[in-house]
Amino acid sequence: MTVEKSLRRRAIQDARARYRHALTRGEVSGDVSRFSAWIARDRTLNIAVASLAIPLLVLLGVAVALNGPMVAACGLLLLAASNVVTFVERRQQLRLLDRLIHAV
């Protein structure tokens, strides 16, 4: 690996670390030129995972409630609810970060 390639890889890793920090803390610093693309990707992934996981967990939870132990059904429905909360929180984080980088 060349020195230039190593430096480029390190710069991308640093940018990703700053992106994760900005996403979780709401504090933007340094070069944010890549953030818009990453926000768009994360929005798409967030919607895709939620649109698959939540209905699947609800469906399994209802099926287990009708045919199996209620403890398992409650566990699956709680996982579905947890996914809803995670989806909403991540959506808000992405929206806030998008506003912050456009304000800079």
Task: Say which DSSP state 46 is in.
Answer: H
Between CA 22 and CA 28, with CA 24 as vertex, the angle to 5 degrees is: 15
pLDDT(104) > 70: no
pLDDT attached to residue 7: 86
Tokens 């409630």 label which residue? Answer: 65
- Cα(45)–Cα(53) distance, integer angstroms: 12
**pTM for the full predicted model:** 0.84
Tokens 């649109």 label which residue? Answer: 51
pLDDT attached to residue 4: 87
Banded pLDDT at 79 (limits 50, 70, 90): very high
pLDDT attached to residue 1: 63
